[in-house]
């Protein structure tokens, strides 16, 4: 197996870290690796905010639903979808920017995800570990206020990074046949495949050290999707100048 593929296949989220700092030069190297990702129409619409102040970290941990790793990780980054600098670019060229398009929201959000995942892989390549923190969207308006985010900028997710202080098992993924289709969408065999995968996930949780979680993938999804999903997101994004047309 190719080294890069082996690295990708070895990914698991890390939530406990050694109290050893990530040197600033390494942070810069990781961000450069993130920036090297493909970017829709060259828009480069992601801004990262490195949050250093312990009091700010505590507040973000609380906003994220009490996720202590946000406060304790040596490095915490917030990935923001950012169309503000494009307004500047238009202004520099005497053009008034037409903003608020759903297309712009998609491209800026995708840009953040691509940069972040490149950064995560680069971090894992040098022995760091990390976890995305979508939990910051629980209190997205408070996060935006804390970070002084202007209009046309929104926090997509955070990321904790550091030297791992745990060695969790790799979480099994869906069978390939469920995610890779040939020529047309055909999910006729997927009910059975997902039932088989449920048993695999159940075993994974049963064997996981220090966890008494007993569930399956489909049960987890059903439990999540019978509830509302952060209904405050749409009004927040519109107020920030996204998703208006
Ligand atoms: C955008 C995004 C947001 C996430 N938010 C959180 C989070 O707030 N807290 C957390 O513990 N894990 C979070 N995760 C991690 C996922 O739970 C994790 O990737 C998934 O369960 C698969 O596990 P693995 O990364 O160990 O393979 C997030 C992942 C992504 C991609």
- The CATH code of the domain that includes 27 is 3.40.109.10
Q: Which atom of ligand 1 is nearest to the CA of 12?
A: 26
Whether 61 is in the pocket of ligand 1, judged by its Cβ within 6 Å, is no
Claim to verify: residue 158 and residue 206 sit in the same structural domain: no
**Which residues form the domain of 110?**
3-169
Claim to verify: residue 141 and residue 34 sit in the same structural domain: yes
pLDDT (0 to 100) of residue 212: 81
Going from the Cα of 18 to the center of ligand 1, the distance in angstroms, rounded, reads 20
CA count, 13 A, side-chain hemisphere, 23: 4
Residue 220 domain flag: yes
pLDDT (0 to 100) of residue 45: 98
Give CA–CA dist 112/161, Å, rounded.
Answer: 17
Residue 235 domain flag: no
> How many domains is the chain partitioned into structurally?
2
pLDDT (0 to 100) of residue 48: 98
Going from the Cα of 28 to the center of ligand 1, the distance in angstroms, rounded, reads 23
Whether 133 is in the pocket of ligand 1, judged by its Cβ within 6 Å, is yes
Instruction: Tell me the pLDDT band of 143, cut-offs 50, 70 and 90.
Output: very high
Are 142 and 60 in contact, with CB atoms under 8 Å apart? no
145-168 residue pLDDT tens: 999 999 999 999 999 999 999 999
Mutational test site, ligand 1, from 118, 132, 139, 216, max ligand atoms within 8 Å of CB: 132
Give CA–CA dist 51/55, Å, rounded.
Answer: 10
Claim to verify: residue 133 and residue 188 sit in the same structural domain: no
Claim to verify: residue 150 and residue 199 sit in the same structural domain: no
pLDDT (0 to 100) of residue 179: 98
Average pLDDT over residues 43-62: 98
3-state secondary structure of 18: coil
Going from the Cα of 14 to the center of ligand 1, the distance in angstroms, rounded, reads 9
Share of residues in the chain with pLDDT > 70 (%): 100
Claim to verify: residue 221 and residue 100 sit in the same structural domain: no
Label the pairing between strands 46-50 and 75-82: antiparallel
Going from the Cα of 132 to the center of ligand 1, the distance in angstroms, rounded, reads 5
């Amino acid at each position: 197996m190719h080294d890069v593929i082996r690295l990708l296949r070895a990914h698991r989220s890390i939530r406990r870290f050694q109290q050893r700092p990530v040197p600033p030069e390494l942070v810069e190297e990781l961000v450069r690796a993130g920036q090297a990702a493909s970017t829709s129409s060259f828009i480069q619409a992601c801004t990262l905010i490195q949050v250093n102040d312990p009091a700010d970290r505590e507040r973000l941990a609380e906003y994220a639903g009490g996720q202590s790793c946000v406060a304790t990780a040596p490095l915490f980054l917030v990935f923001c979808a950012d169309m503000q600098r494009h307004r500047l670019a238009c202004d520099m060229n005497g053009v008034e920017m037409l903003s608020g398009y759903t297309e712009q929201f998609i491209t800026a959000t995708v840009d953040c995800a691509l940069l972040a995942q490149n950064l995560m892989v680069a971090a894992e390549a040098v022995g760091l570990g990390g976890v995305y923190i979508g939990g910051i969207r629980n209190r997205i308006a408070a996060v935006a206020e804390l970070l002084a985010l202007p209009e046309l900028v929104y926090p997509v997710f955070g990321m904790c990074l550091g030297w791992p202080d745990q060695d969790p098992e790799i979480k099994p993924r869906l069978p390939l046949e469920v995610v890779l289709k040939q020529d047309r969408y055909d999910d006729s065999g997927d009910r059975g495949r997902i039932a088989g995968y449920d048993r695999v996930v159940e075993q994974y949780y049963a064997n996981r050290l220090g966890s008494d979680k007993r569930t399956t993938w489909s049960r987890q999804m059903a439990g999540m999707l019978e509830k509302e999903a952060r209904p405050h997101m749409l009004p927040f994004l519109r107020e920030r100048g996204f998703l208006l047309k």
